[in-house]
Amino acid sequence: MTGEPLRVVLGVGGGIAAYKAALLLRLFTESGHDVTVVPTASALRFVGAPTWEALSGKPVSTDVWSDVPAVPHVRIGKQADLVVVAPATADLLARAAAGLADDLLTTTLLTAHCPVVFAPAMHTEMWDHPATQANVATLTSRGAHLVPPASGRLTGEDTGPGRLPEPEEIFAVCRRLLSLPDSRSHQFSGAGAAEIDNNVSPEAGKPLAGRRVVVSAGGTREPLDPVRYLGNRSSGKQGYALAHVAAARGASVTLVSANTSLATPDGVEIVPVGTALELQEAVTQAAKDADVVVMAAAVADFRPRSYADAKIKKTYQDPAEADASPDESAPTIELVRNPDILAGLVEARGAADRPVIVGFAAETGDETGTVLELARAKLARKGCDLLVANEVGRDKGFGTEGNTVHLLFRDGLPGAPRDRSAGPAPKVEIAAEVWNGVQAILDPR
């Protein structure tokens, strides 16, 4: 690292996950950053001031009355190159969204003109509550960056969304923001803002205001009988992140959601569907007056030709028969192809340039080609404007909190940036990069 160390403020909220913030602090200091820890009074009940002071090499305070002549409640935020709050509790998110300034951390948030990152951590019920979701939407609409909570073990015996992301994941987001052009002057500028993984650039305001957006998410299920179906492992998290970021950027968003258990993003209209045919009908209808359609759902390629009205039973041989052998018979399921919804949208658009159509390609790679080779062939075959390719597998893509994707743009598309990759990164950051590409198409320079 060359030059002066970058100044990082680590805000610590009053949650049990505060101990993980000590690991995040170590990642910053070992990378050569100058870190000031600003905990809340509640945070010090979980991790004491001596720990923060020993790891940062600086004194720690929670109120605005310490070292008054240095005016810390203004100075710390104004001098920062990055502010990251981890854990960001439900109470802290609410106070930040309301613009309250009742301790050193909230005053720092009000005076900061640099990138601000929130890493929420709380119980699932608190994270899913409409008030928390509204506060998150407010903060991201103002330019804050969000590292979504992970799913897993919480305090006690509870499990679910709300777990603080791992320090390495939070650090990766912060590292990208600290590498921004002009980050030392505390602003995003020009093309640099469009090239980084940000949710809402402060100068951009509401870049999708007045735009109608349709996003599909989740995985379709094709019924075999009343209890069984053909499906896939899609959780819908990437599609929901795309809808969330679009709404935060001012778009009117319709989310066609197939078989997910996720909370509806604030300000988004949701249309629940089950099968590929239902998804096709809903997306086709919503796309009629849309500016952008993003097909992030994992649509089943095939469905059973016929549906069994009753549960399909196993068959058994009579064990009393002398020549009885194990019954290994199984029914034969005849499949038919589902419609190609993405290609249908492109065909219906014809020679027009709207809506902008974005496809997703979940690929594993095989003997016929790599993930990128298969994705480029799919882009040429489908004719969409942007294809987002991601490698999936048993431990990749589906159901995880992060993603790595390749953005491939249609040849000759006005305003389209160069093909590029994004990640590994949280899915909300991937969504931001996708929308950066779409905005370049919508408003070519």
Query: Residues with catalytic annotation?
Result: 232
At a CB cut-off of 8 Å and minimum separation 6, what does 352 contact? none
Q: How many CA atoms lie within 13 A of 407 on its CB side?
A: 22
Give the residue carrying structure tokens 């919804």.
Answer: 341
**Cβ neighbours, 10 Å, residue 346:** 17
Distance of CA 364 to the CA centre of its chain: 21
Distance of CA 103 to the CA centre of its chain: 30
d(CA 144, CA 140) in angstroms, rounded, equals 5
Retrieve residue 199's tokens: 């949710």
Phi/psi at 274 (nearest 5 deg)?
A: -120, -55
Task: Answer for the pair 31, 174: CB distance below 8 angstroms, yes or no.
Answer: no
CA end-to-end distance (rounded Å), the chain: 35
Give the residue carrying structure tokens 């949208």.
Answer: 345
Task: Answer for the pair 101, 142: CB distance below 8 angstroms, yes or no.
Answer: no
Q: Which residues lie across from 435 on neighbouring strands?
A: none
Identity (one letter) of the amino acid at 340?
D
Q: Which residues lie across from 175 on neighbouring strands?
A: none
Q: Which residues lie across from 295 on neighbouring strands?
A: 216, 359
d(CA 106, CA 147) in angstroms, rounded, equals 19
Query: Residue 164 carries which DSSP code?
Result: P
Task: Answer for the pair 268, 244: CB distance below 8 angstroms, yes or no.
Answer: yes
Task: Answer for the pair 132, 126: CB distance below 8 angstroms, yes or no.
Answer: yes
Distance of CA 203 to the CA centre of its chain: 22
Nearest CA to 295 out of 255, 351, 260, 268 is that of 255
Task: Answer for the pair 11, 76: CB distance below 8 angstroms, yes or no.
Answer: no
Sort 202 into a burial class: Cβ within 10 Å, 0-12 / 13-18 / 19+: middle
